[in-house]
A and B are shown apart, each in its own frame.
Chain A
Amino acid sequence: MESPIIRTENLSAYYGDFRALNSITIAFPQNKVTAVLGPSGCGKSTFIRCLNRMHEIVEGARVEGKVLLRDRNIYEMEPTLVRRKIGMVFQKPNPFPTMTIYDNVIAGYKLNGIKLKKSQADEIVEESLRKAALWDEVKDHLHKRGTFLSGGQQQRLCIARALAMRPEVLLLDEPTSALDPVATSRIEELIEELKETVTIILVTHNIGQASRVSDFTAFFYLGELVEFGPTQSLFTVPKDKRTEEYLIGKFG
């Protein structure tokens, strides 16, 4: 396998006494799309929230084990720095309601108090919106509120906002589950394009989506990593019985 950019070693996650993830060891290859697949409640969202230290913002939540970004344990780094290097897009589009489209894209800089020259900011906004395939639709309304966009556009705006920080890894937590089929396929096309510049980890419970967009698939079930491998072989010749049963629709 290609060199991993981010990997975990015996990663377990807890909510209070409840263990949501059980000793996960996995390595994500650079500039690939890896799907984290599994039925609801299997711990897949918890898992990617551990990768940018968003898990710990829930009261009573804690993590054991290591997450290594280019061989540095992110649990020994400043959480705010980790989150700038590892961007995240959520299930429900969540642009900042008080900000314009323009300000939403550079929100990561503005909210962190990082000063940008006007020309720099313009450049980042255009580049990020182009990468998120939103530029042509919004270039004439950059100074309108982001919440006036459609759901699919809002989600691409959130992707642009994450890309503006130039992250090394982009975590997508069921980014299309709140969107209609047309908006979903646009996001899926976008994911294909984005892997040129950023490593993508995509959480989904949609088997079709995982097979369409991912290079690798990790199947999670009841807090455990059941199987991990190239999407094509995992989908055609799953090694584990549970993977096979999920793929043919016996549960989930």
Chain B
Amino acid sequence: MKGLKWRLAKDRLFRGLVYLLSLLSISPLIIILLYIFKRGLKVINWSFLTHLPKPVGVEGGGVANAIVGTIILVFIAVLISTPLGIWAGLYLSEKRRGLFPEVVRVAVDILQAIPSIVVGIIAYLWVVKPMGRFSALSGGIALSIMMLPMVVRSTEEVLKLIPPYIKEASLALGVPYWRTVLKVIIPAGLPGILSGVLLGISRVAGETAPLLFTAFGNQFMNWNILKPVNALPLLIFNYAMSPYEEWKRLAWGASALLIIMVLTVNIISRLAGRRWKVQL
């Protein structure tokens, strides 16, 4: 009986330890959220969302231009990285062995590991320099490079999970390979691919470094992709470093807003993966 008691005590001890450590690992997130929401949520109101920043010394003002800018940048990034990433992911899932697929796989992994500031410099050299000015387009391209590896790898993983007998069913009906890919494999993997794209969006929406030399920032509203735009992370970066209380307040509000946007996309992506899951 003593042995049993001792074992139960040990069990409780380890169980407690596991709970404690799990709690510790989510505590940074909770603390960040609490802190930012405490400082930021009260800043967010209708005029914060719809007005442009005011000059220093003038009360109020909003971040409408940064919201629009972030949406434009993410839109461009999705437009470029999604088709490229899905095709590459499809290739990798279909062609699992061989030298070239392995090279592509390693290259994609390395691309994912490249520091975001370097991606910004590359986009500067490729787009900003030849065009002679900062632009939303160059920022979107920088973000698309950040996003591409995530889309490639998540597409590959999702499509690898589709059982090979689904493909055989189609081929055995005399359906050519390319039609099988377009009409059977991709539709079966679509919810997963979509959730990968959304995770990619939530990842790049908060990037600052790649935008420093590309989208650059803009005090005014801009819808033209060939001109500089502001973005929420850029605005936070610039305003948080300014000496003005009013701007710092806006930076807190923008941080809270950015986190809400990222969390929302993240949650939608999880739901998309689950709700529209194709039962295999």
Contacts and interface: CB of A to CB of B under 8 A. Distances in A.
B165 A92 contact: yes
Interface string B144-175: 00000000000000000001011011111111
A220 B165 CA distance: 24
A54 B165 contact: no
A214 interface: no
Given A57-B168, A97-B280, A83 B174 contact: yes
B184 interface: yes
Contact of A54 (B163, B172, B175): B172
B170 to A, nearest CB: 6
B112 interface: no
Contact of A98 (B97, B168, B188): B188
Interface SS of B by simple majority: helix
A112 B173 contact: yes
A248 B171 CA distance: 38
Contacts of B33: none
Given A80-B176, A82-B174, A87-B173, 12 more contacts: A54-B168, A80-B174, A83-B171, A94-B169, A96-B184, A107-B173, A111-B180, A111-B184, A145-B279, A158-B169, A162-B172, A162-B173
24 contacts: A52-B172, A59-B97, A80-B174, A82-B174, A83-B171, A83-B173, A90-B165, A94-B163, A94-B165, A94-B166, A94-B169, A95-B169, A96-B166, A96-B170, A98-B278, A107-B169, A108-B174, A110-B183, A111-B184, A112-B174, A112-B175, A112-B179, A158-B169, A161-B173
A83 B176 CA distance: 10
A44 interface: no
Interface in A17-59: 52, 54, 57, 59
A147 interface: yes
Which of the listed residues A57, A111, A147 has the most CB atoms from chain B within 10 Å of its own CB? A111
Nearest to A145: B279
A98 B187 contact: yes
Contacts of B184: 96, 98, 111
How large, as a class, is the contact surface on chain B?
20 to 34
A214 to B, nearest CB: 22
Interface of B: 97, 163, 165-166, 168-176, 179-180, 183-184, 187-188, 278-280
B180 to A, nearest CB: 7
9 smallest CB-CB distances across A and B, nearest first, come from A84-B174, A83-B174, A108-B173, A88-B172, A111-B175, A80-B174, A94-B169, A94-B165, A98-B187
Given A111-B183, A147-B279, A94 B173 contact: no
A52 B176 CA distance: 14
A13 to B, nearest CB: 17
Contacts of B187: 98
Contacts of A80: 174-176
B174 A165 contact: yes
Interface string A100-113: 00000001101111
Contacts of A112: 173-176, 179
A81 interface: yes
Contact of B280 (A111, A147, A161): A147
